[in-house]
């Protein structure tokens, strides 16, 4: 069976939750949540270093604004559609609701290969996006953050472009999160997603009677989420057995030296060729026995094809949508629990919320305060979802979706209908 698209997977997960909530929620509200609020396609024609204008497609989707302004990262990827961004925006709606921040769900994307750009061209592309999407980005409309292919530096360019467009030295309020601390960012935002994944992994290991010390982890993806997760798990005594990225994968059964791997990847642009490990096929790495498998790269990586051979004791979804619904079913039958993405990687959006409030109130938060609040919130929501899953005898994904969809429905109900 061909894998379904990101949007189809998001819709599938939503329909499961909608069925579980039948009779509890007004069908009109269920229908409202089924459809995105707004989908925008923007064409960009920045002039790059060769002096020529190049064409790029870009998208901004606001799936829901029931709880507040749409929140969600901006990604740069070579193959991506408006539907993919819609599916990811829908996931953001549930993530914000589940983690308890007053944001709706959004996402944006630029169709381009980030690895093909010089620093100059990437900055030009990002600034072109910010200029062209100026009507769609604001603290009360949509607030982007880093995602695949974008980073802290790019968020700084977005803030600068938007202040410049208004003729101001800075923006009034928070237009973008995950920006450099010197420009009003918050300490610990870059690490927030990976640290949140680590908190979930530790709690989930405890549920199966294991501690993090000595636990073996395998990660797919060594960008922001993957590298921070690997480092923070290693700091707590886990063994990082293998890591894959787009170019290759490395494995060492005694555990990789993550800091040395990071230094190698910074130089080589990939984990491939790391001398203190053996090379392994990228796909094969996902099937190597381990305590926890952490997909932290792209969507639809654990599928009906490889799920029967996954040999992890649990899966922690660092990436958005890495497990297809068919794979979910297979893993459930095999008794392999999954910490769903909307819980597992929600640390980033939670700390984005702290950045948003800090900027709105013109305050400054310390990194230790950010870390403490992140740890508390993720732990609390993890157990809330776990208990709901146990009580209703459903998966953690269904429980997380149930909680999130109910919360958004409550907000829609409270807003009422415009005449």
Catalytic residues: 107
What is the closest distance, in whole angstroms, from the C-beta atom of residue 257 to ligand NAD in the complex? 18
Tokens representing 301?
Answer: 């990586």
- Mask for 210-239, x = binds ligand NAD (CB under 6 A): ----------xxxxxxx-------------
- 214-243 as b/e: b if 16+ CB within 10 A: ebbbbbbbbbbbbbbbbbbbbeeebbbbbb
* Binder among 7, 82, 244, 342 for ligand NAD (CB under 6 A): 244
- Give the integer Cα–Cα distance in Å for 172 and 153: 20
| Residue 80 contacts ligand NAD per CB under 6 A | no
| Residue 89 contacts ligand NAD per CB under 6 A | no
DSSP 181-240: GGGT--TTHHHHHHHHHHHHHHHHHHHTT--STT-EEEEE--SHHHHHHHHHHHHTT-EE
* Binder among 66, 148, 215, 389 for ligand NAD (CB under 6 A): 148
Strand order in the sheet with 312-316: 278-280, 248-251, 239-245, 216-220, 290-295, 312-316, 338-339
Q: Segment contacting ligand NAD (CB under 6 A): 63-71, 210-218, 234-242, 243-251?
A: 243-251
Q: Which residue is nearest to ligand NAD (CB)?
A: 223
Tokens representing 157?
Answer: 């360019």
263-282 residues in contact with ligand NAD (CB under 6 A) are 282
Nearer to ligand NAD, 46 or 73 (CB): 73
- Mask for 39-78, x = binds ligand NAD (CB under 6 A): ----------------------------------x-----
Widest CA span in the chain = 66
What is the closest distance, in whole angstroms, from the C-beta atom of residue 318 to ligand NAD in the complex? 6
- Give the integer Cα–Cα distance in Å for 100 and 390: 21
Residues at the interface with ligand NAD (CB under 6 A): 73, 146-149, 193, 220-226, 244-246, 282, 296-298, 318-320, 345, 348
């Amino acid at each position: 069976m061909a894998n379904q698209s990101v949007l189809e997977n998001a819709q599938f997960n939503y329909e499961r939750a909608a069925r579980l909530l039948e009779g509890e929620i007004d069908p009109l509200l269920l229908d409202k949540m089924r459809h995105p609020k707004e989908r925008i396609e923007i064409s960009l024609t920045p002039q790059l270093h060769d002096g020529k204008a190049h064409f790029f497609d870009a998208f901004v989707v606001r799936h829901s604004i029931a709880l507040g302004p749409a929140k969600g990262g901006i990604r740069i990827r070579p193959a991506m559609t408006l539907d993919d961004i819609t599916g990811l925006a829908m996931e953001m709606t549930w993530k914000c609701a589940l983690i308890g921040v007053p944001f709706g769900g959004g996402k944006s994307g630029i169709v381009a290969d980030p690895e093909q750009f010089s620093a100059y061209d990437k900055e030009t592309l990002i600034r072109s996006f910010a200029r062209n999407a100026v009507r769609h980005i604001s603290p009360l409309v949509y607030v982007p953050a880093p995602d695949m292919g974008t980073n802290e530096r790019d968020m700084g360019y977005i803030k600068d472009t938007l202040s410049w467009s208004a003729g101001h030295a800075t923006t009034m309020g928070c237009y973008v999160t995950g920006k450099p601390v010197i420009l009003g960012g918050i300490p610990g935002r870059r690490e927030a997603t990976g640290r949140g994944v680590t908190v979930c992994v530790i709690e989930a290991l405890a549920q199966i009677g294991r501690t993090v010390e000595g636990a073996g982890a395998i990660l797919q993806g060594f960008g922001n989420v993957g590298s921070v997760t690997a480092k923070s798990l290693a700091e707590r005594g886990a063994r990082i057995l293998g890591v894959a990225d787009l170019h290759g994968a490395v494995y060492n059964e005694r555990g990789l030296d993550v800091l040395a791997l990071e230094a190698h990847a910074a130089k080589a642009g990939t984990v491939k060729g790391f001398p203190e490990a053996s090379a392994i096929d990228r796909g094969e790495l996902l099937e190597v026995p381990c305590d926890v498998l952490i997909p932290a790269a792209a969507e639809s990586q654990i599928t009906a094809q490889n799920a029967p051979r996954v040999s992890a004791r649990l899966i922690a979804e660092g990436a958005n949508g890495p497990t297809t619904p068919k794979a979910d079913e297979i893993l459930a039958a095999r008794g392999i629990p999954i910490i769903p993405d909307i819980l597992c990687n929600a640390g980033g959006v939670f700390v984005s919320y702290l950045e948003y409030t800090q900027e709105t109130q013109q305050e400054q938060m310390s990194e230790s305060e950010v870390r403490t609040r992140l740890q508390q919130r993720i732990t609390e929501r993890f157990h809330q979802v776990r208990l709901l899953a146990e009580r209703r005898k459903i998966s953690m994904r269904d429980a997380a979706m149930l909680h999130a969809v109910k919360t958004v429905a409550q907000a829609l109900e409270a807003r009422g209908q415009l005449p």
